[in-house]
Structure 1
Amino acid sequence: MKAAEHSRNGRYGRFRLWRAAHQKLKANNGGYVFAVVSEGQVLKLKRMSARDVERRLNGISWYSSGHDGKGHQAKIPWPHLVDSR
């Protein structure tokens, strides 16, 4: 389960994905449930396989999180994965 704020400082909130966890999900045919929230309320839900996440994004650009031991991450604005309508 991944959650992102609908908006934050005037911008879309983002889902943070971790490469190691994503690779495990993909290897085991797993996936995500993405939730877009605002003021504690769920506005949108979307279930998607790890493979479909990669397809929807045309691949994932991973980068160092800057936190020791946390590995690589990707921060994805929620409309890239969940319909904004």
Structure 2
Amino acid sequence: NLSKGLVFGVLDVAKRQIIWLEMPFTSQNIKGADNKSVEALLRKLEARLSVGGLLEIKAKAQGLTIVENAEDADEKYDYEWAKMGDYGF
């Protein structure tokens, strides 16, 4: 790979967020980065399954009800759960 640089992310002004890319590019400056490649990578990132999406599939497969408030849940998947590493899958 003869890339000269790395696009770490792009700024989505409308959504007010930075999207992490880590996409190599071969031009001298960012203006020469291929817009089609960036857009293709963004579409690929949007299609990825998130942890939340995976947990939703798990809940549906087990016939569980997804609730809005953690206090109403029998099982809670939050930061503390992720930190402990006891996922029970």
Question: TM (normalized to structure 2)?
Answer: 0.27
* Structure of larger gyration radius: 2
Question: TM (normalized to structure 1)?
Answer: 0.28
Larger relative contact order (C-alpha < 8 A, sep ≥ 6)? Answer: 1
